[in-house]
């Protein structure tokens, strides 16, 4: 495979910037205590009563990053053999009516929520961290940060674990008290310091503040900007670290189109989390059930290729970046949602396929080495013509320079022989992948990059089965720029990955400016240009998209981006632009389109809020006006009523067909208490001629232990005749040993 010289040039530039050093700020000493603390947000223990070892030098992150925080915050940390304790006091500037909490449901997110959060980089690598947060009403959230916290998508709140916290509102402040078990964390035994940051979001003053100052052009969860948490004595292993999470479930399913009716039947299974020392974790699963996961929000698909939906299943989430961060957004060698999904040979549709068991080892071997090993096995389903599959993934990552790393990954998917009861591998039916990635993060976080080469292997062992990528980005306060080059071979075929197309090369430069007015309601604004061009040797240029944009963000967190776009598309297979069975556009036809688009986000603190994107202008050989977004009505923290809406008005000349594509998704989310929730989600999609109803009751009767009742129904919109109906009840419990 011939790789463009641009890959080598970008790589050499990356090595030149990887050695920079970041600022060093005074740390905070964690006080060792001999007696446990009662977590009640009263702060009446002796350790909190003394004036020493509190830190209150918080810096403003938003709306500015050039001053100390307007609303004062002070924090103190202590620890014993079992817990890390954090006390935080969030002062107000004066009397206030209340605080903003969008829900009482765990894992709140968004700029509108008042809250206090902690990021813990327990291995001091500047790229991975835990996040724990609490709001004034005592609602918890926890997550994992990967990839340095560079982008919003690198912050995953789907990860859950057991910890203790309390919050209390006073007249002039609110107080949080937190106890995080050391058994919940992975860390270096014998270490005496971690990288840490604390940050606060205050809705009254539209202020974000952090203990370690972060330039406002980065994310508030960025792991490059931290200070030291120093332990007065080296940390030791916290004892047994085992969690057993068994479940029992009962469900029934009826498909009215095929006549298949599955009677009510019980199932059993469970997960286990075993800490192998303080730095490694073993996840085990047997006959897992993922019925508590909400239905994916449908989208109107006007793209020629497959749509990506994120992973939400708990088993795959701890240290997920070890597996999922290889490759890029549209060239992923491993995508865990491929496991447990297969093709029904009777209908040609993708369906769930039962996972029988799985094991997953992940974590740190040393300060510089991380490892990830996974094996999963799915069941035979002869009625649907599905053979069981065995999936094996191995990943190894080494830290280099200050924050960068290099990693290798091996993936093997093999089909089992149904004729032998699924107990033996079917000869020749395998798909394998090997890859090498280099991830660049400069110490000051201004430079980032990614470079990789991957190759797939199958029985025929075709040529041109590899992919290569080089990307380098620069991000400063007022200026950012980037350049990316990709090569995807004609026979590159990662069946356990997400690569919706192959046989192309791609070049994508981008550049943007950002200005910060000293007065007025505008916080930042500025223009930018991004572009991408795809081509291959057989056809030449097949795709182009050139976008000139201008982005404005207000002090209220509201945003507006306006874009002018020029797009070129060459069709190398027949394509119906409406995806509704109309006359397709022919192979070899090509189209140059101009259109305007926008991205709008209103003030999220308001009772009514809107988020949406849209476009108007040329579309293939016709025109399209499109809007996709949601409106939300918030009734305090007890209820959120929202409406997802997508409407596309497509007008095409004969013999193609016009279309009005409508997707409506009303949603009601009720949080009766911090332990009882009810969500109902309705989706009407005329593109696939379907109405879907999903309603879910969740009772969190103990920490991280739930009872779920989930009902799902699909209808034909014209007659309301049912297509498929399912009811599932599930009970699980988290045992800590």
Q: Mind listing the domains of the chain with CATH numbers?
A: 33-231 (2.60.40.1190), 514-688 (no CATH)
Rounded CA separation 140/105 (Å): 8
Task: Using the Cα atoms of residue 583, residue 587, residue 591 and residue 595 in order, give the sign of their dihedral.
Answer: positive
Using a pLDDT cut of 90, give the percent of the chain over it: 62
Q: How far is CA 98 from CA 173, 364, 377, in A?
A: 11, 43, 51
End-to-end, the C-alpha distance of the chain in Å comes to: 53
Q: How far is CA 570 from CA 4, 587, 622, in A?
A: 23, 8, 15
Q: Chain-wide mean pLDDT for the chain?
A: 88
Rounded CA separation 134/112 (Å): 14
What pLDDT does residue 558 have?
Answer: 95
What pLDDT does residue 103 have?
Answer: 87
- Burial class, 261, CB count within 10 angstroms (exposed 0-12 / middle 13-18 / buried 19+): exposed
Tell me the average pLDDT across 481-491: 97
- Asked if residue 441 lies in contact with residue 127, where contact means CB atoms within 8 angstroms, the answer is yes
Whether the pLDDT of residue 155 is over 60: the answer is: yes
Task: Find how far residue 130's CA is from the centre of its chain.
Answer: 14
Three-state SS at 172: coil
278: left (phi over 0), alpha (psi -120 to 50) or beta: alpha
What pLDDT does residue 300 have?
Answer: 52
Beta-strand ranges (E) seen in 25-82 are 28-32, 59-62, 73-79
What pLDDT does residue 592 have?
Answer: 97
Which of 165, 164, 221 lies closest to 195, judged by CA?
221
Tokens in use for 207? 């202020």
Beta strand 608-619 pairing with 590-601: antiparallel
- The residue written with tokens 């897992």 in the block is 288
What pLDDT does residue 2 have?
Answer: 46
Tell me the average pLDDT across 138-153: 86
Report which of residues 539 and 295 the model is more confident about: 539
Tokens in use for 714? 């699909």
Beta strand 559-570 pairing with 590-601: antiparallel
What pLDDT does residue 291 have?
Answer: 57
Lowest mean pLDDT among 93-102, 444-453, 484-493: 93-102
158-191 per-position pLDDT tens digit: 788 889 999 999 999 999 999 999 988 889 888 8
Three-state SS at 280: strand
586: β partners: none
Tokens in use for 487? 């090569």
Report which of residues 467 and 579 the model is more confident about: 467
Rounded CA separation 598/608 (Å): 20
Rounded CA separation 565/617 (Å): 10
Highest mean pLDDT: which range of 1-15, 258-272, 635-649: 635-649
- Give me the helices (H) in 78-183, please: none
What pLDDT does residue 284 have?
Answer: 93
Lowest mean pLDDT among 206-210, 304-308, 551-555, 632-636: 304-308
Rounded CA separation 378/157 (Å): 27
Tell me the average pLDDT across 552-564: 96
500-542 per-position pLDDT tens digit: 899 999 999 999 999 999 899 999 999 999 999 999 999 999 9
Tokens in use for 92? 């107000």
Which of 420, 355, 418 lies closest to 386, judged by CA?
418
Rounded CA separation 76/85 (Å): 8
Whether the pLDDT of residue 207 is over 80: the answer is: yes
Tokens in use for 632? 């939300």
pLDDT band at residue 424 using 50, 70 and 90 as cut-offs = low
Backbone phi, psi, residue 615, to 5°: -155, 155
Rounded CA separation 555/473 (Å): 27
Which of 519, 485, 518, 490 lies closest to 502, judged by CA?
490
pLDDT band at residue 19 using 50, 70 and 90 as cut-offs = very low
- Reported as type and span, the H/E element at residue 9 is helix 5-17
Rounded CA separation 705/716 (Å): 36
Three-state SS at 300: coil
Whether the pLDDT of residue 294 is over 60: the answer is: no
82-136 per-position pLDDT tens digit: 999 999 999 999 888 889 988 888 888 888 899 999 999 999 988 889 999 999 9
- Asked if residue 369 lies in contact with residue 188, where contact means CB atoms within 8 angstroms, the answer is no
Residue 612: how many CA atoms within 13 Å on its side-chain side?
Answer: 18
Beta-strand ranges (E) seen in 442-503 are 447-457, 466-475, 479-488
Three-state SS at 245: strand
What pLDDT does residue 1 have?
Answer: 44
263-281 per-position pLDDT tens digit: 888 989 999 988 887 788 8
Report which of residues 607 and 240 the model is more confident about: 607
- The residue written with tokens 């009840």 in the block is 729
Tokens in use for 577? 């632009």
307-361 per-position pLDDT tens digit: 555 676 777 877 788 888 899 988 999 988 888 888 777 766 777 788 899 999 9
- Reported as type and span, the H/E element at residue 657 is none
Whether the pLDDT of residue 436 is over 50: the answer is: yes
Whether the pLDDT of residue 386 is over 90: the answer is: no
Which of 75, 261, 110 lies closest to 606, judged by CA?
110
Rounded CA separation 345/502 (Å): 25
Tokens in use for 145? 């940060």
pLDDT band at residue 471 using 50, 70 and 90 as cut-offs = very high
CB atoms within 10 A of CB 227: 21
Residues 6+ apart with CB under 8 A from 147: 127, 154, 321, 325, 439
Rounded CA separation 620/569 (Å): 8
CB atoms within 10 A of CB 467: 27
């Amino acid at each position: 495979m011939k790789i463009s010289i641009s890959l080598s040039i970008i790589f050499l530039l990356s090595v030149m910037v990887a050695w920079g050093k970041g600022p060093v700020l005074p740390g905070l000493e964690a006080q060792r205590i001999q007696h446990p603390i009662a977590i009640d947000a009263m702060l009446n223990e002796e350790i909190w009563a003394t004036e020493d070892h509190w830190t209150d030098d918080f810096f403003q992150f938003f709306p500015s990053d050039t001053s100390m925080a307007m609303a004062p915050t002070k924090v103190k940390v202590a620890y014993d053999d079992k817990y890390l304790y954090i006390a935080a006091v969030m002062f107000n500037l004066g009397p206030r009516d209340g605080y903003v909490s969008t829900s009482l449901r765990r894992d709140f997110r968004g700029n509108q929520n008042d809250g206090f959060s902690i990021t813990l980089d327990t291995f001091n690598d500047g790229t991975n961290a835990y996040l724990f947060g609490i709001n004034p009403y005592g609602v918890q959230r926890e997550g994992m940060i990967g990839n340095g916290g560079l982008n919003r998508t690198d912050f995953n709140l789907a990860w859950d674990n057991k910890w203790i916290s309390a919050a209390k509102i006073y007249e002039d402040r609110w107080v949080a008290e937190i106890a995080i078990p050391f058994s919940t964390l992975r860390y270096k035994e014998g270490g005496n310091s971690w990288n840490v940051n604390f940050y606060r979001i205050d809705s009254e003053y539209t202020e974000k503040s952090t203990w370690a100052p972060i330039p406002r052009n980065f994310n508030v969860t960025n792991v490059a900007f931290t200070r030291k948490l120093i332990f007065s004595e080296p940390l030791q292993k916290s004892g047994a670290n085992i969690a057993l999470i068994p479940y029992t479930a009962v469900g029934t399913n009826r498909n009215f189109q095929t006549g298949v009716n599955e009677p009510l039947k019980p199932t059993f299974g469970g997960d286990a989390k075993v800490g192998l020392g303080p730095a490694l974790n073993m996840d085990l699963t047997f006959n897992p059930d993922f019925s508590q996961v909400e239905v994916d929000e449908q989208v109107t698909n006007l793209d020629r290729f497959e749509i990506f939906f994120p992973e939400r299943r708990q088993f795959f989430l701890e240290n997920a970046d070890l597996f999922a961060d290889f490759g890029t957004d549209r060239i992923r060698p491993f995508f865990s949602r491929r496991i447990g999904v297969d093709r029904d040979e009777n209908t040609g549709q993708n369906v769930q396929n039962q996972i029988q068991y799985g094991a997953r080892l992940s974590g740190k071997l040393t300060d510089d080495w991380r490892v990830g090993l996974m094996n999963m096995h799915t069941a035979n389903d002869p009625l649907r013509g599905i053979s069981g599959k065995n999936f094996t993934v191995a990943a190894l990552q080494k830290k280099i320079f200050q924050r960068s790393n290099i990693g290798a990954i091996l993936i093997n998917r093999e089909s089992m022989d149904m004729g032998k009861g699924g107990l033996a591998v079917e000869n020749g039916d395998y798909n394998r992948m090997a890859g090498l990635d280099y991830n660049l993060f400069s110490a000051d976080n201004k430079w980032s990059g990614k470079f990789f080469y991957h190759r797939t292997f199958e029985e025929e062992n075709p040529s041109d089965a590899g992919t290569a990528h080089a990307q380098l980005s620069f991000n400063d306060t007022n200026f950012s720029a980037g350049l990316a080059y990709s090569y995807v071979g004609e026979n590159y075929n990662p069946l356990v990955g997400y690569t919706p197309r192959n046989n192309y090369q791609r070049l994508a430069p981008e550049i943007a400016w950002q200005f910060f007015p000293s007065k007025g309601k505008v916080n930042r604004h500025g223009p930018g240009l991004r572009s991408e061009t795809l081509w291959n040797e057989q056809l030449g240029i097949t795709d182009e998209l050139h976008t000139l944009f201008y982005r404005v963000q207000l002090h209220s967190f509201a945003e507006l981006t306006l874009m002018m776009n020029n797009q070129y598309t060459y069709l190398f297979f027949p394509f119906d632009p409406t995806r509704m069975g109309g006359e397709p556009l022919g192979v070899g036809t090509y189209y140059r389109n101009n259109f305007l688009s926008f991205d709008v986000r209103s003030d999220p603190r308001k009772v009514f809020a809107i988020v949406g994107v849209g476009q108007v202008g040329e579309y293939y050989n016709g025109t399209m006006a499109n809007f996709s977004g949601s409106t939300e009505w918030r009734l305090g923290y007890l209820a959120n009523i929202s409406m997802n809406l997508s409407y596309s008005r497509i007008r095409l000349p004969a013999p193609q067909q016009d279309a009005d594509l409508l997707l409506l998704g009303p949603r009601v989310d009720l949080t009766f208490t911090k332990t009882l929730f009810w969500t109902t989600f309705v989706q009407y999609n005329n593109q696939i001629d379907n109405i879907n109803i999903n309603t879910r009751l969740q009772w969190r009767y103990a920490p991280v232990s739930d009872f779920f009742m989930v009902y799902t129904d699909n209808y034909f919109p014209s007659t309301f005749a049912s297509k498929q109906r399912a009811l599932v009840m599930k009970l699980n419990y988290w045992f800590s040993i």
